Amino acid sequence: MTTDDLLLLLVSLGHAVRVTDECRPHMWHRLLHISLAGLRADQAEPTGSPEQ
């Protein structure tokens, strides 16, 4: 996990809020929960960097 990964996560959440705000204002909660579940150390496997 790098700072670039966290930045990408924050940008994607912000985009989800803007896109779904009018029609489904709480849809971003689902993306947040999915993202946080994927970041859990007990369930995550190491991933290589994009350069590898």
pTM (2 d.p.): 0.60
Angstrom distance (rounded) from CA 17 to CA 42: 28
* Residue 48 pLDDT: 57
* pLDDT, tens only, 34-47: 888 888 777 545 55
As a dihedral over the C-alpha atoms of residue 8, residue 14, residue 16, residue 19, rounded to 10 degrees, the angle is: -130
> Rounded mean pLDDT of 2-28?
88
